[in-house]
A and B are shown apart, each in its own frame.
Chain A
């Protein structure tokens, strides 16, 4: 019996050893792949004029209240993404801030919103599948009827996107869902349909990625056609091509995102973190998978524990009844 127990403890220790292995070694899970009909947005910072039409359209499409700031109580002026702002245009400025899309003495715009990760942390984190990635469109949606409000999605999101209604007695998580309610009716995201310059461009991710490659090959200063609203809309403007950064943000970051950014200013200037290709999700759930896949390890351990607890409990009882028996005789 002693041998058996030792064997069991060894097995348990082996299970524990798994825990210590590096995520890569036990990576039972690859980074998720892009769904075939994935939809997304290409935001081109160089085309954005900072008119904020997208912000206003977003609030209207999603029934969100305007946020005042400071003394002015007239118009919407959010400072960042919040429970009532799912989409915001922010401005980078340096030095004199005179020249558009210039790193020194210039300024540039960036649109912040949910990037709809190819392998979203929030979806893996959510215990009740309230956040889900649509199998066809890849849109990361939120279901308030499932959400328990644990806020693990906020901890997990590497871009700090999901927001919580802190002042509501029965709060919801709030984030961009790419206007999936409009898409269901054949429409496109509100921000893209109102964008006058095509800075926010809606479309299938595959086509948008193709478009990024086209733009990266443009000669700066030469005039080109840029589609407006949706890549399939047939509408376009003609602009001089800017001097793009040779990187599309969202192409590879943590497994890639369906909302992508192009810019003439380095992305870290906008406060966008530079990320490796591998997502934190695949590391975390790689470990979780290795241990809990099919609940095999836990069940084996449980069986061993039951066996030993029963054996030890029985011997304890035998001892106990023997001692009470002795006491009875003494009395």
Chain B
């Protein structure tokens, strides 16, 4: 434990940071436009496709990307693998902003945002609604993530008394931080069960909750690898490949398990024919799984996963493949019939880009100000 996390310091207004802020400003313009002139003035959403990329990307894919904090807490505090401790705080930071901005996106997406308090009125709550459960879980989890990250604020500002109090309850917060994503990530899958025949049978199955939970876990781990690889290059943190390749080994099992269930499920329901029919949706199914299989092959062989570049490629494949699975379930494989079409408008896309840019900007800002990274023995760095 000689490597306590430290703030990195350094220049804040880097070119990356400024570019991100520029994108955020453009997105803010469209956000204001949406609030004044309505959702229809900015988006291509319609009565057939009531959900677009603000839900499919910002919430459904975005929170899966933000599952790094969840899987690392699960690994370190529940399965007690203390060796991965240095990866927890960076993962939590990314998760914290990922989920917070998913919340911002939902706020822009829902039409009657001022009524959101109804979710907290016991007589309005609909416990049968998957949406209710997801909304409550995500809402609560955003707070939990900020609390989980609070030790970094405590260390930065030397809030010793508060730190001691927090330390007495932090295990409960951590436990919630594992329970809530398990609940809502699987429920994000349950959500589309209700779409019924509108969702193509390649994706519509009662196994959706399990498939969504598993993709959340593999995407969470992949994001940890992806982020750690980039930050260790950008901030010269030293080589973390040995730790990351151990995570890669865990991913192999989860990803393998996922793929077995995914294919077995489609096969048992008799829809494997659709997958190889050469249709657009069949090809999307194949592409989604091909990316995951490429990831699996790299992760499965120790020689490959010990190579930082290949490991990075594998993580990227899994992230893209997992995202595609979720996109397919929410938009691409969804067909309400009646000739409805949807492709996100420029304004709609800009808001999504703005949210991503904001996440990156805040991440780079926080790692410089707050103790996030544990800098390794500088064996690799030449300084």
Residue positions of A touching B, CB distance < 8 A: 16, 19-23, 80, 82, 121, 124-130, 144-152, 154-156, 158, 160, 162-172, 271, 273, 275, 280-281, 283-285, 287-289, 292, 298, 301-302, 305-306, 308-313, 315-317, 319-320, 323-324, 327
Across-interface contacts of A285 in B (CB, < 8 A): 128, 130
Cβ B112 vs Cβ A156 within 8 A: no
A-B contact pairs, 22 of them (CB 8 A): A19-B209, A80-B338, A121-B194, A121-B196, A128-B121, A128-B132, A147-B112, A149-B111, A149-B115, A156-B196, A166-B40, A166-B45, A166-B46, A167-B38, A168-B111, A171-B38, A292-B127, A298-B183, A308-B78, A309-B175, A315-B80, A316-B85
**Contact of A313 with B2 at beta-carbon distance under 8 Å, contacts A127-B132, A128-B132, A154-B47 already known:** no
Q: Which chain B residue has the least Cβ–Cβ distance from A280?
A: B196
Is B129 among interface residues, defined by CB-CB distance under 8 A?
A: yes
Cβ A126 vs Cβ B129 within 8 A: yes
**A309's contact among B118, B171, B192, B336, by CB below 8 Å, is which?**
B171
Is B162 among interface residues, defined by CB-CB distance under 8 A?
A: no
Is B41 among interface residues, defined by CB-CB distance under 8 A?
A: yes
Cβ A148 vs Cβ B126 within 8 A: no
Cβ A128 vs Cβ B130 within 8 A: no
5 A-B pairs with least C-beta separation? A149-B111, A166-B40, A305-B175, A127-B132, A280-B196
**B207's contact among A20, A121, A309, by CB below 8 Å, is which?**
A20
- Apart from A20-B207, A158-B197, A166-B39, 8 more pairs, CB < 8 Å: A22-B206, A126-B126, A126-B131, A146-B115, A146-B124, A301-B182, A312-B76, A317-B167
**B190's contact among A163, A271, A287, by CB below 8 Å, is which?**
A287
Across-interface contacts of B10 in A (CB, < 8 A): none
Q: Kindly state the separation between the CA atoms of A292 and B190 in the bound complex, as whole angstroms.
A: 12
Across-interface contacts of B178 in A (CB, < 8 A): 305, 309
Across-interface contacts of A275 in B (CB, < 8 A): 197
Q: Which chain A residue has the least Cβ–Cβ distance from B134?
A: A127
Q: Kindly state the separation between the CA atoms of A289 and B50 in the bound complex, as whole angstroms.
A: 26
Cβ B135 vs Cβ A288 within 8 A: no
Residue positions of B touching A, CB distance < 8 A: 1-2, 35-41, 45-48, 50-51, 76-78, 80, 82, 85, 109-116, 118-119, 121, 123-133, 135, 167, 170-172, 174-176, 178-179, 182-183, 186-187, 190-198, 206-207, 209-210, 213, 261, 336-338
A327 to chain B, nearest CB (A): 8
Across-interface contacts of B135 in A (CB, < 8 A): 127, 150
Q: Kindly state the separation between the CA atoms of A172 and B171 in the bound complex, as whole angstroms.
A: 43
Q: Kindly state the separation between the CA atoms of A146 and B186 in the bound complex, as whole angstroms.
A: 26
B120 to chain A, nearest CB (A): 10
B337 to chain A, nearest CB (A): 7
A72 to chain B, nearest CB (A): 23
The A/B interface has a contact count, at CB < 8 Å, of: 216
Q: Kindly state the separation between the CA atoms of A248 and B179 in the bound complex, as whole angstroms.
A: 47
Q: Which of B37, B41, B191 has the most CB of A within 10 A?
A: B191
**A288's contact among B38, B51, B190, by CB below 8 Å, is which?**
B190
Across-interface contacts of A315 in B (CB, < 8 A): 80
Cβ B112 vs Cβ A171 within 8 A: yes
Q: Kindly state the separation between the CA atoms of A155 and B45 in the bound complex, as whole angstroms.
A: 12
A326 to chain B, nearest CB (A): 10
Across-interface contacts of B133 in A (CB, < 8 A): 288, 292
**B209's contact among A151, A163, A171, A287, by CB below 8 Å, is which?**
A287
Across-interface contacts of B129 in A (CB, < 8 A): 124-127, 152
Q: Kindly state the separation between the CA atoms of A306 and B186 in the bound complex, as whole angstroms.
A: 21
Q: Kindly state the separation between the CA atoms of A89 and B176 in the bound complex, as whole angstroms.
A: 52
Cβ A169 vs Cβ B45 within 8 A: no
Cβ B210 vs Cβ A19 within 8 A: yes
Cβ A169 vs Cβ B119 within 8 A: no
B171 to chain A, nearest CB (A): 4
Across-interface contacts of A158 in B (CB, < 8 A): 196-198
Across-interface contacts of A154 in B (CB, < 8 A): 47, 50
**Contact of A288 with B128 at beta-carbon distance under 8 Å, contacts A22-B206, A149-B115, A154-B47 already known:** yes
B143 to chain A, nearest CB (A): 16
Q: Kindly state the separation between the CA atoms of A177 and B2 in the bound complex, as whole angstroms.
A: 67
**Contact of A306 with B51 at beta-carbon distance under 8 Å, contacts A124-B129, A149-B110 already known:** no
Across-interface contacts of A166 in B (CB, < 8 A): 38-40, 45-47
Cβ A169 vs Cβ B36 within 8 A: yes
Cβ B336 vs Cβ A313 within 8 A: no
**Contact of A149 with B113 at beta-carbon distance under 8 Å, contacts A308-B80, A309-B172 already known:** yes
Across-interface contacts of A320 in B (CB, < 8 A): 1
Cβ B1 vs Cβ A149 within 8 A: no
Across-interface contacts of A163 in B (CB, < 8 A): 47
Across-interface contacts of B193 in A (CB, < 8 A): 23, 280, 283-284, 287
Cβ A155 vs Cβ B194 within 8 A: yes
Q: Kindly state the separation between the CA atoms of A48 and B162 in the bound complex, as whole angstroms.
A: 74
Across-interface contacts of B192 in A (CB, < 8 A): 155
